[in-house]
Chains A and B, each alone.
Chain A
Amino acid sequence: MKYKLGTLAVAGLMAASPVMADLVFPSLSYRTGPYAAGGIPFADGYADYFTLLNERDGGIGGETIRVPECETAYNTEKGVECYESTKGDGALVYQPLSTGITYQLIPKVTADDIPMLTSGLGRTSAKNGNVFSHVFNFPANYWDGASVAVKHIMEQEGGSLEGKKIALVYHNSAYGKEPIRTLQELSEKHGFELKEVPVDHPGQEQKSQWLQIRRDKPDYVIMYGWGVMNQVAVQEAANIRFPMDKFIGIWWSGSENDVLSAGAKADGYKALTFHNVGSDYPLYDDLQKHVIDTGKAAGAGDQVGSVLYNRGLYAAMLVAEAAKTAQEIHGVTDITGGQMRDGMEQLEITEEKMAELGLPDFGPEFSVSCENHGGEGFVAVTQWDAEAKEWNLVSDFMQSDQEVIQPLIEEDSKAYADENAIEGNC
């Protein structure tokens, strides 16, 4: 009996011990709960890209990749628990698909010397690498999104927004309030009137907000929503016959989930994006061959090519490239979290590199530096075709108004630096 117990204990220890030779990319996913419809495709795309690298290339630099998944249910406390339970496993980078979890992890990852990538979410001023040493938000952030939305509207209006009215329908949370300051600055700069229309969580009932929009008759509506708020907003906009091509959502309001339930009435709805759409790329042929056909796809394997799947895949590609950069810089393949951070800080994504990876024209070119953890802020606009049930890219990747955004980033990051006595990393 003692022998059996001893054997079990040894086996348990072996199973529990981290395999340090692997490159570990924990996935704080949410496949359950009210936001699962958004979490599942992202987690699938994230996992599938690493599976592809393992199957096709033998990992990164010869090191096998592991993607331990931890369910957060989009709950901040669970997200922090997931971080604590996986960081000791040799975690190289975290990408929590949640602004709430991101805020909690900022001091933790900095103390633990593990980088965190929050593409298109989290604390916008984390772009300032001089203050946020371990947080990255390339290739675009919430303020870039707001700025490019205004830029796109300006293009539609022939270059002037003087006397126009734009309504911001936003999730009444830290996330939803992110673009307000930027839009206020842009409204002063371009002479449009900004109407702020908050929607309380979860956003299942928005009658008041859309009656207000019907009364106010804004020329355009920009939306920062998530989850059920998006579907209801698109439906309500259709109900009041608001022109869909003048309704622009942030990238978290621009997936198939958000428009399918409104059917044909959602046709023409627009959304911002920091990566391309669809699956017509050479990389997807490799995915089909090495991952999907071999039955190794994550989840049910039915999300391939959807907007959020692409985002998960893109997120994995960015950190995989950063890991390669880290291996080159440090001359080792079995990198640590700190070395990974260095790789992220020297990441450069060019069109040539994207084409080599099998993703030509999939995302904007950008480079990261010690001071700039957020790239150059290039964002594009997509539009929903309800008949074909697909999103199409309808603009080039446009750079946000850095003249407005950069001072805001300096101001916000300085406040954080003062609060936390950070003297500067660069």
Chain B
Amino acid sequence: MPEQLAFTIEVFLNGLMAGVLYALVALGFVLIYKASGIFNYAQGVMALFAALTLVGIMEGQVPFSHLINAILGTEVHHFGWHIPAFLAIVLTMVVMIVLAYCVQRFVFRYLVGQEPIILFMATIGLAYFLEGVGDLMWGSEIKTLDVGLPQGINVWIDEFTFNATGYGFFIDNLDIVASIVAAILVIGLVMFAQYTKQGRAMRAVADDHQAALSVGVSLNFIWILVWSLAGFVALVAGIMWGAKSGVQFSLSLIALKALPVLMLGGFTSIPGAIVGGLIIGVGEKLFEFLIGAPFLGGATENWFAYMLALVFLVFRPQGLFGEKIIERV
């Protein structure tokens, strides 16, 4: 196989994998927007908060220890235990459900019926609040997240492709795991929405919340459920991204990677988030490889993702899979 073709295929495959990671972040946005019409600016910070909480629980870190020590003059930092990853994930999920309840109970319950921009502004406030609380609770240092996920080159693929094409492809084991997890997550979410009572209620609220209310669906419950699901998705995204870079405050910036995916895939479609993620991932990686690095000096991925999304927007303002906007006089 010609070397350039092998490189292109490798870049394409890595683009797909990167796209899955972007889609993981975008999913959380879609869930909340679909059910409540809220564009949740805090989704990236939720991923950070979830990952911080996970590491804190696993390592037995005392939450708010700096604050406690400053006020009481004590020197407590750790409980002295290490919790297995699975149990820590479950406990983190409990924290995210409590967070979902608090968000609904103390913020959005009072904003029902408000303009979308007001709800959006509330999520901006929520993002900064959560970032501050996360800092106060778990500290600002970079934390190593080790939940046993494999990382590094997949040797089997490397050897197989080398024997077949003369060039060993690089595929990161973590990306393979992320793809499998994303697939399970999407299938799980779709099945939940299709085959469970709560899922059907969630879809009913998404379609028409007033009609759902009139047949006895509790909006409060559904919104807490949706924020909890978004919290779970944020936790999964936080684990995948946190495993690459350590858990640190810049993790909240992964939301920037989700925006072009949402523009492209539509704000209301779970499959749209996946397909959008894949298109953005492949598009930006191929552009960087074929045009960006050789002719434009490189580092084109950030702006190219948005440009690609904008081009799609021109032809389909609702995104690839978004609901078509029809307004009748």
Q: Quote the shortest CB–CB distance from A12 to chain B (angstroms).
A: 25
- Within the assembled complex, what's the spacing in Å between the Cα atoms of A239 and B17? 15
* Contact, CB under 8 Å: A257 / B153: no
Q: When each residue 16-35 of chain B gets 1 if its CB lies under 8 Å from chain A and 0 otherwise, what string results?
A: 01100100000000000000
Q: Quote the shortest CB–CB distance from A219 to chain B (angstroms).
A: 19
Q: When each residue 341-369 of chain A gets 1 if its CB lies under 8 Å from chain B and 0 otherwise, what string results?
A: 00000000000000000000000000000
- Within the assembled complex, what's the spacing in Å between the Cα atoms of A244 and B140? 27
Of the residues A31, A208, A228, A238, contact of B248 by C-beta under 8 Å: A228
Which residues of chain A come closer than 8 Å to B11, judged between CB atoms? 208, 211
Of the residues A31, A196, A263, contact of B297 by C-beta under 8 Å: A196
Which residues of chain B come closer than 8 Å to A34, judged between CB atoms? 248-250, 252-253
Of the residues B139, B145, B172, B250, contact of A204 by C-beta under 8 Å: B250
* Contact, CB under 8 Å: A260 / B144: yes
- Within the assembled complex, what's the spacing in Å between the Cα atoms of A202 and B241? 13
* Contact, CB under 8 Å: B142 / A257: yes
**Nearest neighbor of A295 in chain B, beta-carbon distance:** B73
Of the residues B14, B245, B251, contact of A207 by C-beta under 8 Å: B14
**Nearest neighbor of B284 in chain A, beta-carbon distance:** A208
- Within the assembled complex, what's the spacing in Å between the Cα atoms of A261 and B285? 25
Interface residues of A in 168-204 (CB under 8 A from B): 172, 196-202, 204
- Within the assembled complex, what's the spacing in Å between the Cα atoms of A423 and B153? 57
* Contact, CB under 8 Å: B253 / A202: yes
Q: When each residue 196-237 of chain A gets 1 if its CB lies under 8 Å from chain B and 0 otherwise, what string results?
A: 111111101101110110110000000000011001100100
Q: Does B141 lie at the interface of the complex (its beta carbon under 8 Å from any beta carbon of A)?
A: yes
Which residues of chain A come closer than 8 Å to B253, judged between CB atoms? 34, 202, 204, 228
Which residues of chain B come closer than 8 Å to A241, judged between CB atoms? 152-153
Q: Does A300 lie at the interface of the complex (its beta carbon under 8 Å from any beta carbon of B)?
A: yes
Q: When each residue 264-304 of chain A gets 1 if its CB lies under 8 Å from chain B and 0 otherwise, what string results?
A: 01000000000000000000000000000000000010000
Segment of B94-102, B113-121, B260-268, B298-306 in the binding face: B298-306
Contact A207/B66 with A37-B140, A240-B170, A261-B144 known, Cβ cut-off 8 Å: no
* Contact, CB under 8 Å: B288 / A208: yes
Number of interface residues of B (CB under 8 A): 47
Interface residues of B in 271-298 (CB under 8 A from A): 284-285, 288-289, 292-293, 297-298
Q: Quote the shortest CB–CB distance from B266 to chain A (angstroms).
A: 23
For B66, B152, B246, which residue has the most chain A Cβ atoms within 10 angstroms?
B246
Q: Does A40 lie at the interface of the complex (its beta carbon under 8 Å from any beta carbon of B)?
A: yes
* Contact, CB under 8 Å: B142 / A208: no
* Contact, CB under 8 Å: B254 / A204: yes
Which residues of chain B come closer than 8 Å to A257, judged between CB atoms? 141-142, 246
* Contact, CB under 8 Å: B299 / A199: yes
Q: Does B159 lie at the interface of the complex (its beta carbon under 8 Å from any beta carbon of A)?
A: no
* Contact, CB under 8 Å: B244 / A204: yes
* Contact, CB under 8 Å: B302 / A200: yes
Which residues of chain A come closer than 8 Å to B172, judged between CB atoms? 207, 239
Which residues of chain B come closer than 8 Å to A211, judged between CB atoms? 10-11, 14, 170, 289
Interface residues of A in 1-54 (CB under 8 A from B): 31-37, 40
* Contact, CB under 8 Å: B299 / A239: no
Q: Quote the shortest CB–CB distance from A201 to chain B (angstroms).
A: 8
Q: Quote the shortest CB–CB distance from A178 to chain B (angstroms).
A: 16
Q: Quote the shortest CB–CB distance from B273 to chain A (angstroms).
A: 17
* Contact, CB under 8 Å: A32 / B248: no
* Contact, CB under 8 Å: A198 / B298: yes
Contact A240/B301 with A37-B248, A211-B170 known, Cβ cut-off 8 Å: no
**Nearest neighbor of B69 in chain A, beta-carbon distance:** A300
Q: Does B64 lie at the interface of the complex (its beta carbon under 8 Å from any beta carbon of A)?
A: no
- Within the assembled complex, what's the spacing in Å between the Cα atoms of A142 and B248? 26
**Nearest neighbor of B285 in chain A, beta-carbon distance:** A208
- Within the assembled complex, what's the spacing in Å between the Cα atoms of A211 and B169? 10
Contact A232/B245 with A40-B140, A263-B144 known, Cβ cut-off 8 Å: yes
- Within the assembled complex, what's the spacing in Å between the Cα atoms of A215 and B167? 10
Q: Does B108 lie at the interface of the complex (its beta carbon under 8 Å from any beta carbon of A)?
A: no
Which residues of chain A come closer than 8 Å to B292, judged between CB atoms? 208
* Contact, CB under 8 Å: A231 / B245: yes
- Within the assembled complex, what's the spacing in Å between the Cα atoms of A265 and B174? 15
Contact A232/B248 with A32-B135, A204-B253, A211-B170 known, Cβ cut-off 8 Å: no
Which residues of chain A come closer than 8 Å to B246, judged between CB atoms? 231, 257, 260-261
**Nearest neighbor of A214 in chain B, beta-carbon distance:** B170
Interface residues of A in 106-126 (CB under 8 A from B): none
Q: Can you list 11 A-B contacts with CB-CB less than 8 angstroms, sorted by A residue number? A: A32-B132, A34-B249, A204-B257, A208-B284, A209-B298, A211-B170, A228-B253, A235-B244, A238-B152, A240-B170, A261-B142
Using a CB–CB cutoff of 8 Å, the interface residues on chain B facing chain A are 7, 10-11, 14, 17-18, 21, 66, 69, 132, 135, 139-146, 151-153, 170, 172, 241, 244-246, 248-254, 257, 284-285, 288-289, 292-293, 297-299, 301-302
Knowing that A208-B11, A211-B289, A263-B144 touch, tell me 15 more A-B residue pairs with CB under 8 angstroms.
A32-B132, A34-B250, A198-B299, A204-B245, A204-B253, A207-B18, A207-B285, A211-B11, A231-B245, A235-B245, A239-B151, A239-B170, A239-B172, A257-B246, A261-B145
Nearest 6 CB-CB pairs, A to B? A261-B246, A34-B250, A198-B299, A36-B140, A228-B250, A172-B299
